[in-house]
Amino acid sequence: MLVWLYHMNQEKLSGTTKETTSLGLTSQLIPNSSEIESLVTEICNTTSIAEFELKLGGFRLYVMRYLTEKNEPTPQPLSPPPLVVTVKTTTDASDLNGSASTSLAISKQEPSFGGIVSFLDRAADEGLMILQSPRVGFFRRSRTIKGKRAPPSCKEKQIIKEGQVLCYIEQLGGELPIESDISGEVIKILLEDGEPVGYGDALIAILPSFPGIKKLQ
């Protein structure tokens, strides 16, 4: 808020000559309206002066303004709250069943993968034969008949014969049957139905049966 006023006071002097001289000097000292406006504008724009007074002879200029408070920047404190909210959200989400099941699923993936690798490492020592994929595609435990899935071709702990179809590899809309090269028992199916497979990937672990030896159940 700006308040300014100016006052011009001319004293009448006796005699014509003195009055003329006084009016001439006064007119030289008194600024015009444009000069006053320019002075006030410069004070307001370039200084932080709150109160100003100017006297020239019978001219008096008084300016008073109310300085606004400095702006307090607030954008920076906005950064910490999102971090706090994120942490809180994570903490709260850990109590939810959905998040708990997700974390369990992740924890199960690592041991299962490590278990398969460990299983394949000791397969030869345990006398197991590994049925491998002859091509790239998707592992299928059964074939599709008229748009419907047939029952699985084999199950774990099932006795199989040489030449028996154990699974299928789906590729380009076709399903290639995978036969067993040996007779024996299915110990472990290493992939889930629909998992992608590459050439030579392990599919099924089989314990061969030898003629003349009856396997203990």
pLDDT string in tens for the chain (217-residue length): 555 565 555 444 334 433 444 445 555 667 778 888 888 888 888 888 888 787 777 778 888 877 765 555 555 555 444 444 333 434 444 444 444 333 333 333 333 455 677 777 787 778 888 999 999 999 999 988 888 889 999 999 999 999 999 999 998 888 999 999 999 999 999 999 999 999 989 899 999 987 444 444 4
The domain total for the chain is 2
Q: What is the pLDDT of residue 8?
A: 57
What DSSP designation does 28 have?
Answer: H
Instruction: Report yes or no on 140 lying in a domain.
Output: yes
Q: What is the pLDDT of residue 165?
A: 94
Q: What is the pLDDT of residue 213?
A: 46
Instruction: Report yes or no on 76 lying in a domain.
Output: no
Q: Which residues contact 26 (CB under 8 A, 6 or more apart)?
A: 10, 57, 58, 59
Q: Which two tokens stand for residue 95?
A: 């109590």
Q: Is 119 found in the same domain as 195?
A: yes
Q: Is 122 found in the same domain as 46?
A: no
The residue range of the domain holding 155 is: 114-217
Instruction: Report yes or no on 106 lying in a domain.
Output: no
Q: Is 124 found in the same domain as 200?
A: yes
Sheet with strand 2-8: strands edge to edge: 2-8, 59-65, 51-56
Q: What is the pLDDT of residue 21?
A: 42
Instruction: Report yes or no on 217 lying in a domain.
Output: yes
Contact assessment for residue 11 and residue 58, using Cβ atoms and an 8 Å cutoff = yes
Q: What is the pLDDT of residue 162?
A: 93
pTM summary value: 0.43
Angstrom distances, CA of residue 140 to CA of 152, 166, 175: 9, 10, 8
Instruction: Report yes or no on 83 lying in a domain.
Output: no
d(CA 197, CA 137): 5
d(CA 174, CA 53): 99
Q: Is 52 found in the same domain as 120?
A: no
d(CA 170, CA 148): 15
d(CA 121, CA 161): 25
Q: What is the pLDDT of residue 180?
A: 93
The CATH number of the domain where 203 resides is what? 2.40.50.100
- Write the single-letter amino acid at 73: P
d(CA 17, CA 202): 125
Q: Is 217 found in the same domain as 159?
A: yes
